[in-house]
Chain A
Amino acid sequence: MLLSLLVFLPVLAAVVLVLWRGAPVRLVHVVWVAVSVAEVVGFVGLWIAYARGAGRSGANPYAFDTDRAWIPGAGSGYHVGVDGLSLPLLAMTAVVFTAAAVYSRRESRDPLQFAALFLALETTCLGLFVALDLILFFVFFDLSIVGMYFVIAGWGHGATRAASALKFFLYTFVGSLALLLGFIGLYVAADPHTFDMVELTRQMPLAGHGASATLVLLAIAVGLAVKTPTFPFHTWLPPAHTDAPAAGSAVLAGVLLKMGTYGFVRITMPMLPDAWRGLAWLFVVIGVVSALWGALVALAQTNFKRMIAYTSVNHMGYILLAVGAAGLLGGTDATARSVAVAGAIVQMVSHGLITAALFLLAGVLFDRGGTYDMDRYGGLAAVAPRYAALTAAAAFASLGIPGFSGFIAEFQIFAGSLPSATVATAIAVLGILVTAGLFLIALQRMFLGLRRDGRPFADLTGGELLAIGPLMLLSLAIGVFPRLVLGVIDPAARAVVVLVSR
């Protein structure tokens, strides 16, 4: 019950806000931030309780679970619960939404609806990560797309925002249909028919059905790959980000992309293990191509926000590499593979924090200068030292410098993937060089050298610092004390490796 309350509290607050039409703007923002902070506190508390072994019964790996009948005729129930895979993502989601809330203090267009929309969106994201039923998962998956559509179309900037929003919506919606097709395949193959994820993981309904298992896996994988996104399904991402408001981009990149990668470790690997192992090489290849493609195309960008969007493709590529390598069993040991999976999960959390920070920083840039074109700036470090320093820190975190969470993620991904996919890993690791190059170029273009013109550029305000600073501090904390998150992630990664090896 507690878990469901935490998941639905934001949408309840959203309903209250919408019904309470005449609420003063300041109060709306206070409510929004308060609910977001409450979510953070709630999930951190849940995490601590989970780490101490609370909320679990017997052999059930999921804590704080609720399983109620929902659509019994279709074999679907309201089944939610958390484990070491979902908890870090839930906490990260709550943190990113809080940062978005704090950042949006000065949103002037329909602030009430904006707040309500984000609160509702938060529920869909949290709901997806706690869902233990495929239909429930699918419902949250699609609702998140709808919510983000309105964020981009309603509060975006740029003349093309409606088109970008529509492209985002249609592309990921079509992807979700493939996902649904795969889910139905799993349902039909299960005996008795069910959409329950725990039951499907136990049954592995398509084990031994080579071709049909592969088709079902491909359907689900295409749906998840569009959302992640991986090469070649990534072209919706740059326009969506460029036209989205800063807070929307932070949530889109920080949280929504993780729905795709989470689906790989939560659904495909445990439920279709033999098909996954059969296609593992494909995921490794897609991972390597995405990592290098994303990094190289990002290198060619002149638009700061578009560049960050492409680095997401690069970072998600590493995750694909790791989960693919975890499916290549020949000649490697389970511990090494679990290192790769642990790296992938840390990467989801780490990328959420760092990229959310980068997108909010991009928002500051647009707010001050009215453009994302890096060449229009220069020498900003002189007039906005705090902004320059924080952006530099976020850039270095994103390029994987030790001390920040990205290193903990990428080091584990590379070290853990190399034993099973040696050549692929050796190629993918070149990506860290390209990302280093592109961020150094970006920093040089925007902040260093001499100022191009005398236009004023105000430094970070206290509110902006309060929104972005904590994201970087958390990344730093994970980078220096990785046990903070690995304590729950390591066993979860181990479990995924065991499940996919069955």
Chain B
Amino acid sequence: MSVLPWLLVGLPATAGLALLVAGRRAEREAAAVGIVVAGVVAVLAALLAATVRGTTSVPFLVVSRLGLRVDGLAALTAMTVGVIALLVLVVALGEISAGRWRFFGLMLVFVAAVMLTVLADDLVGLLAGWEVMGATSYALIAFSWTEPKAVTAGSTALLTTRAADIGLYLAAGAALAGTAGMGGSRLGLSRLSVLPSPWLHVAAAGVLVAAAGKAAQLPFSFWLSGAMRGPSPVSALLHSAAMVAMGGYLLLRLRGLLAAAGWAATTTAWLGAATAVALGAVALLQRDLKQLLAASTSAQLGYVVLAAGLTARGGAVQGGAAQFVAHAATKALLFLAAGVWLHALGTKQLSGLVGAGRRYRLVGAVFTVGAASLAGLPPLSLWASKDAVLAVARGQSLPLYVAGLAGAVLAAGYAGRMIGVVLRPLPVDAEARYDTEAAGTRRVRAVERLPLAVLALAAAALGVLELPAVAGRLGVALGQGDRVSPSWGELALSGGLAVAAVAAAAWRGNRVPSPRWALSWFGLQAAAGAVVVRPVLGLARLLARVDDRLLDPAVAGVATGTRRAARLAARLDDHGVDRAVERIVSGTRRLAEFARRPQTGQVHQYYAQAAVLLGFAVVLLLIVR
């Protein structure tokens, strides 16, 4: 086992931190550093995929070493992330002109966190990568920190995904509880699927929730909507190959755990299918291109999630992985193209982008290729990968298959809409519709063209992953035994539906309604605000008031009580004890004066006193006797 996997994490982390620490001083060199490091990472990832398999670890906690594991799935994913990160950073060169040290620094740290997430062999490393990914995503989404809405969107993204991350903390605890008395790395991912009940189910539930949060599946999808306020290169990386995709990746990686828990696999499959349909519908009815793409990310990752939950006929990990890779290339392309338009034309509204593909022909062409792939048009990549997943789904449950197919039709619908919009002839009043977000530059930089072309090629050609010869070998590399290929009938059905839906939607173009439930993504964010955020804030204020008005005064009350008791004691002292002592003294004195009275110094009086006393004594003696 080589040092390569460690480099893949350590190199971007170190370079990124160095840029962040250097701050503005590194503004000029930041882009070069970022792109060179990303390039090295991409090469290293390819090298890793080609040469390295196995596990490497270093001591970390007493119950767990920190391990990195390179298997077929991890190698494929790491390579995808590395290549797409590089291409995105090259495009960012054109778009990010100020604060480059911060942008490239954060992006590199983010890439390091993604690599750690991909390669981690235990829950400590996984959670570390996972949470740093969330934290850097906050900083990247809120990159334009003077805009309160961007900052709020970053906070929403971090808080929503962290709420789901709690599942991973619980899974770690369950792993520890379920391996009582055992040695070795007790938090290893491979051990999760053999945990005893009930810990197995706790771990499965925790992983499922955490992954659903990151992958923006229902009901967590809403954070992705706000996250579109980040710069387009950020969206292009976070919402294609990394971050969101990591949720799908984690489920693919831990499909054994889901299957072992039984219910978890079924739930996962249905969660993916439901998200594909629901967010597909949301995407279809958007007005804003980036919102459409964001909703489609949730929906498309639904197929990866669905694949992870399928257990029939050897599972669908090969199809899921192919979907992951194909979607990464396709979606990165689409986000970058949308960003180029936003930069040039100042708008991301679909109404403003009518004919945009004709105005900038290269961008229009690659965008159309990406959208056609997203639509599932044969023979492009997402058509093939989606069908590979659906074929297994059909073997497991017909309703699941139908739901998946419905999602595919919706995908063809929203992708067809995009094609129809951008390829329409430029309207005469086009200029009037631009600059809705910011003033556009009206030009596309050369540096942005090459990465777009590469991604378009990938989005089109990655369908080869489903050619029987390639798919079989990929399946073996991913540890899948017997693979189910989609039948010709299935391929024809999905292809035919896609063509029909694309044609219909392209013809309708912008003539679709945008109901409020779609624009607000089913009002999920409002619901989270009403059900979670506001009650928590209210509770916080209530408890603060209890602290200030009840607990603190109670303590102060003890103090005042003590002082009052002290005053009482002092009064008792002054008026009680002291007075009593004085009375005793004065009484004694009076007695003494009384006792002095007989001492007159005159002998006859002494005789008389003695006689009286003697008489008394005699009387007393007589009585007593």
A residues whose Cβ falls under 8 Å from a Cβ of B: 167, 170-171, 232, 235-236, 293, 296-297, 299-301, 331-333, 335-336, 338-339, 342, 379, 381-382, 385-386, 389, 396, 400-403, 407-408, 411-412, 414-419, 422, 425-426, 429-430, 432-434, 436-437, 440-441, 444, 447-450, 482-483, 486, 490, 494
Task: Please state if B559 and A419 are interface contacts (CB–CB under 8 Å).
Answer: no
- Let me know if B568 is at the binding interface, CB within 8 A: no
Task: Please state if B151 and A449 are interface contacts (CB–CB under 8 Å).
Answer: yes
CB distance from A237 to the nearest CB of B (A): 10
Q: Tell me whether A412 and B173 are in contact in the complex, defined as CB-CB below 8 angstroms, given that A403-B132, A432-B166, A448-B148 are known contacts.
A: no
Task: Please state if A440 and B539 are interface contacts (CB–CB under 8 Å).
Answer: no
Q: Tell me whether A411 and B540 are in contact in the complex, defined as CB-CB below 8 angstroms, given that A436-B162, A448-B142 are known contacts.
A: no
Q: How far is the CA of A111 from the CA of B257 in the complex (A)?
A: 63
- Let me know if B513 is at the binding interface, CB within 8 A: no
CB distance from A284 to the nearest CB of B (A): 14
Task: Please state if A436 and B158 are interface contacts (CB–CB under 8 Å).
Answer: yes
CB distance from B551 to the nearest CB of A (A): 5
Q: Which of A296, A381, A403, A415 contacts B176 (CB 8 A)?
A: A415
Task: Please state if A440 and B187 are interface contacts (CB–CB under 8 Å).
Answer: no
Q: How far is the CA of A401 from the CA of B20 in the complex (A)?
A: 17
Q: How far is the CA of A444 from the CA of B541 in the complex (A)?
A: 19
A-B contact pairs, 7 of them (CB 8 A): A167-B555, A396-B135, A415-B63, A415-B172, A436-B162, A449-B151, A490-B62
Task: Please state if A235 and B555 are interface contacts (CB–CB under 8 Å).
Answer: yes
| B contact residues around A494 at 8 Å (CB) | 62
Say whether chain B's binding surface is mostly helix, strand, loop, or mixed.
helix
| B contact residues around A300 at 8 Å (CB) | 537, 540-541, 543-544
Task: Please state if A419 and B551 are interface contacts (CB–CB under 8 Å).
Answer: no
Q: How far is the CA of A232 from the CA of B138 in the complex (A)?
A: 35
Task: Please state if A433 and B172 are interface contacts (CB–CB under 8 Å).
Answer: no
CB distance from B7 to the nearest CB of A (A): 15
| B contact residues around A396 at 8 Å (CB) | 135
Q: How far is the CA of A489 from the CA of B544 in the complex (A)?
A: 36
Task: Please state if B177 and A297 are interface contacts (CB–CB under 8 Å).
Answer: no
Task: Please state if A293 and B173 are interface contacts (CB–CB under 8 Å).
Answer: no
| A contact residues around B556 at 8 Å (CB) | 167
Q: Which of A301, A342, A414, A434 contacts B172 (CB 8 A)?
A: A414
Q: How far is the CA of A208 from the CA of B142 in the complex (A)?
A: 60
| A contact residues around B24 at 8 Å (CB) | 385
Q: Tell me whether A411 and B127 are in contact in the complex, defined as CB-CB below 8 angstroms, given that A170-B559, A419-B176, A425-B173 are known contacts.
A: yes
| B contact residues around A483 at 8 Å (CB) | 59-60
| B contact residues around A408 at 8 Å (CB) | 61
Q: Which of B123, B145, B152 contacts A381 (CB 8 A)?
A: B145
Task: Please state if B23 and A301 are interface contacts (CB–CB under 8 Å).
Answer: no
Task: Please state if B151 and A433 are interface contacts (CB–CB under 8 Å).
Answer: no
Q: How far is the CA of A346 from the CA of B419 in the complex (A)?
A: 56
- Let me know if B163 is at the binding interface, CB within 8 A: yes
The proximity string for B residues 75-119 relative to A, scoring 1 for CB distances below 8 Å and 0 otherwise, is 000000000000000000000000000000000000000000000
CB distance from A358 to the nearest CB of B (A): 17
- Let me know if B552 is at the binding interface, CB within 8 A: yes
Task: Please state if A333 and B180 are interface contacts (CB–CB under 8 Å).
Answer: yes
- Let me know if B401 is at the binding interface, CB within 8 A: no
Q: Tell me whether A339 and B176 are in contact in the complex, defined as CB-CB below 8 angstroms, given that A333-B181, A402-B131, A429-B169 are known contacts.
A: yes
Q: How far is the CA of A382 from the CA of B135 in the complex (A)?
A: 21
Known: A433-B166, A448-B145. 9 other contacts (CB 8 A): A296-B543, A336-B177, A401-B135, A414-B173, A415-B123, A415-B169, A415-B173, A447-B145, A483-B60
| A contact residues around B132 at 8 Å (CB) | 401-403
| A contact residues around B26 at 8 Å (CB) | none
Q: Which of A170, A235, A336, A401 contacts B547 (CB 8 A)?
A: A235
Q: Tell me whether A448 and B544 are in contact in the complex, defined as CB-CB below 8 angstroms, given that A414-B172, A419-B177 are known contacts.
A: no
Q: Tell me whether A417 and B173 are in contact in the complex, defined as CB-CB below 8 angstroms, given that A339-B61, A407-B128, A436-B159 are known contacts.
A: yes
- Let me know if B426 is at the binding interface, CB within 8 A: no
Q: How far is the CA of A408 from the CA of B127 in the complex (A)?
A: 11
Name the residue in B24, B146, B541 with the highest tally of chain A Cβ atoms < 10 Å from its Cβ: B146
- Let me know if B124 is at the binding interface, CB within 8 A: yes
Q: Tell me whether A482 and B61 are in contact in the complex, defined as CB-CB below 8 angstroms, given that A402-B131, A418-B170 are known contacts.
A: yes
Task: Please provide the chain B residues from 524 to 551 with a CB less than 8 Å away from any CB of chain A in the complex.
Answer: 536-537, 539-541, 543-544, 547, 551
Q: How far is the CA of A433 from the CA of B539 in the complex (A)?
A: 15
- Let me know if B155 is at the binding interface, CB within 8 A: yes
CB distance from A386 to the nearest CB of B (A): 7
Q: Which of A301, A419, A430 contacts B166 (CB 8 A)?
A: A430
B178, closest chain A residue (CB): A419
Q: How far is the CA of A299 from the CA of B20 in the complex (A)?
A: 28
Task: Please state if A426 and B146 are interface contacts (CB–CB under 8 Å).
Answer: no
| B contact residues around A339 at 8 Å (CB) | 61-63, 176
A421, closest chain B residue (CB): B173
CB distance from B175 to the nearest CB of A (A): 8
Q: How far is the CA of A184 from the CA of B61 in the complex (A)?
A: 39
Q: How far is the CA of A296 from the CA of B555 in the complex (A)?
A: 21
- Let me know if B293 is at the binding interface, CB within 8 A: no
Q: Which of A331, A389, A434 contacts B536 (CB 8 A)?
A: A434
Those 8 A-B pairs whose CB atoms lie nearest each other, nearest first: A418-B173, A419-B177, A402-B128, A300-B544, A333-B180, A299-B540, A300-B540, A235-B552
Q: How far is the CA of A299 from the CA of B135 in the complex (A)?
A: 19
Task: Please state if B63 and A389 are interface contacts (CB–CB under 8 Å).
Answer: no
Task: Please state if B61 and A486 are interface contacts (CB–CB under 8 Å).
Answer: yes
| A contact residues around B23 at 8 Å (CB) | 385-386, 389
Q: How far is the CA of A117 from the CA of B461 in the complex (A)?
A: 73
Task: Please state if B146 and A450 are interface contacts (CB–CB under 8 Å).
Answer: yes
The proximity string for B residues 162-191 relative to A, scoring 1 for CB distances below 8 Å and 0 otherwise, is 110010011011111100110000110000
Task: Please state if A332 and B180 are interface contacts (CB–CB under 8 Å).
Answer: yes
| A contact residues around B159 at 8 Å (CB) | 433, 436-437, 440
Q: How far is the CA of A466 from the CA of B540 in the complex (A)?
A: 36
Name the residue in B131, B147, B559 with the highest tally of chain A Cβ atoms < 10 Å from its Cβ: B131
CB distance from A222 to the nearest CB of B (A): 13
Task: Please state if A440 and B146 are interface contacts (CB–CB under 8 Å).
Answer: no
Task: Please state if A336 and B176 are interface contacts (CB–CB under 8 Å).
Answer: yes
Q: How far is the CA of A345 from the CA of B235 in the complex (A)?
A: 40
| A contact residues around B541 at 8 Å (CB) | 300
CB distance from A357 to the nearest CB of B (A): 16
Name the residue in B124, B172, B176, B544 with the highest tally of chain A Cβ atoms < 10 Å from its Cβ: B176
CB distance from A127 to the nearest CB of B (A): 29
| B contact residues around A437 at 8 Å (CB) | 155, 159, 536
Q: Tell me whether A335 and B63 are in contact in the complex, defined as CB-CB below 8 angstroms, given that A299-B536, A448-B145 are known contacts.
A: yes
Q: Tell me whether A482 and B60 are in contact in the complex, defined as CB-CB below 8 angstroms, given that A299-B540, A440-B158 are known contacts.
A: yes
CB distance from B567 to the nearest CB of A (A): 17
CB distance from B76 to the nearest CB of A (A): 25
Task: Please provide the chain B residues from 50 to 69 with a CB less than 8 Å away from any CB of chain A in the complex.
Answer: 59-63
A232, closest chain B residue (CB): B551
Task: Please state if A418 and B174 are interface contacts (CB–CB under 8 Å).
Answer: yes
Name the residue in A293, A297, A339, A381 with the highest tally of chain B Cβ atoms < 10 Å from its Cβ: A297
Task: Please state if A429 and B166 are interface contacts (CB–CB under 8 Å).
Answer: yes
A386, closest chain B residue (CB): B23
Q: Tell me whether A444 and B151 are in contact in the complex, defined as CB-CB below 8 angstroms, given that A301-B544, A385-B24, A407-B128 are known contacts.
A: yes
Task: Please state if B177 and A449 are interface contacts (CB–CB under 8 Å).
Answer: no
Task: Please state if A389 and B20 are interface contacts (CB–CB under 8 Å).
Answer: yes
| A contact residues around B128 at 8 Å (CB) | 402-403, 407
Q: How far is the CA of A416 from the CA of B187 in the complex (A)?
A: 11
Q: Tell me whether A416 and B176 are in contact in the complex, defined as CB-CB below 8 angstroms, given that A381-B145, A396-B135 are known contacts.
A: yes
| A contact residues around B552 at 8 Å (CB) | 235
Name the residue in A296, A400, A430, A450 with the highest tally of chain B Cβ atoms < 10 Å from its Cβ: A296
Q: Tell me whether A414 and B180 are in contact in the complex, defined as CB-CB below 8 angstroms, given that A299-B537, A300-B540, A486-B61 are known contacts.
A: no
Q: Tell me whether A419 and B540 are in contact in the complex, defined as CB-CB below 8 angstroms, given that A333-B181, A482-B60, A490-B62 are known contacts.
A: no
Task: Please state if B173 and A419 are interface contacts (CB–CB under 8 Å).
Answer: yes
Task: Please state if A297 and B138 are interface contacts (CB–CB under 8 Å).
Answer: no
| B contact residues around A297 at 8 Å (CB) | 540, 543-544, 547
